[in-house]
């Protein structure tokens, strides 16, 4: 009798568990980021970027930046209803930001590009501000670019 009761309890618990909607996890974020990152980006870099990433106020997305020698990798991981994530690559914004200053990236002593804030919208688009700072001869240059992202991952520039 105890065995039948245990089997019935296990079956009922599995049924209840199966009915719960999937929840996004750090693993699903990591897997999405890993699928979009080039091979030279390490797992440690991805983990660090995800832990310091900028999360949308309602949890709809996470924006991350990974500094690299040639150009930063900037991604937005958009949560889907099934708990997986769609990746939008925003890396082009850094090159556009350097274009504002009229100099090539190698002409600066150093630079960083990071997401700084999510902007609220009244439509289906997500919007995040990306800031690039560069230093040259002790002078600091800063530009902020707001990017809009469609639900399908298409990044819209100004």
pLDDT digits (tens, 9 = 90+) for 19-78: 444 444 568 899 999 999 999 999 999 999 999 999 999 999 999 999 998 899 999 999
Residue 16 in domain? no
Share of the chain residues as helix, strand and coil, in percent rounded to the nearest 5? 30, 35, 35
Q: For the residues 108-123, what does the mean pLDDT come to?
A: 95
First to last CA, the chain: 69
Residue 51 in domain? yes
Residue 2 in domain? no
Residue 45 in domain? yes
Say how many domains are in the chain: 1
pLDDT category at 4 given cuts 50, 70, 90 is very low
Domain interval for residue 139: 21-156
Secondary structure (3-state) at 85 = strand
pLDDT category at 157 given cuts 50, 70, 90 is confident
Residue 6 in domain? no
d(CA 81, CA 61): 12
What phi, psi does 52 have (nearest 5°)?
Answer: -105, 10
- ∠ CA(34), CA(123), CA(89), 5° rounding? 20
Residues with Cβ within 8 Å of residue 91, at least 6 apart in sequence: 71, 72, 73, 74, 75
CB atoms near residue 63 (< 10 Å):
27
Q: pTM for the whole thing? A: 0.80
Residue 26 in domain? yes
pLDDT category at 98 given cuts 50, 70, 90 is very high
Residue 4 in domain? no
Quick one: tokens of 11?
A: 């079956």
Q: Let me know: does 70 contact 133? Beta carbons within 8 Å.
A: no
User: Which alpha helices (H) appear in the chain, and where do they start and end?
Assistant: 2-19, 26-36, 43-51, 92-101
Residue 12 in domain? no
């Amino acid at each position: 009798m105890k065995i039948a009761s245990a089997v019935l309890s296990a079956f009922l618990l599995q049924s209840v568990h199966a009915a719960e909607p999937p929840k996004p996890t750090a693993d699903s974020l990591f897997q999405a980021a890993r699928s979009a990152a080039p091979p030279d980006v390490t797992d440690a870099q991805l983990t660090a970027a995800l832990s310091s990433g900028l999360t949308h106020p309602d949890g709809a997305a996470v924006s991350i930046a990974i500094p690299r020698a040639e150009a930063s990798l900037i991604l937005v991981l958009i949560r889907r209803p099934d708990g997986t994530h769609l990746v939008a690559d925003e890396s082009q914004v850094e090159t556009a930001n350097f274009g504002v200053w009229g100099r090539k990236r190698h002409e600066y002593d150093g630079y960083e590009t990071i997401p700084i804030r999510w902007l609220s919208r009244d439509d289906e688009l997500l919007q995040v501000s990306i800031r690039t700072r560069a230093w040259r001869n002790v002078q600091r240059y800063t530009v902020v670019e707001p990017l809009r992202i469609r639900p399908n991952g298409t990044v819209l520039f100004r």
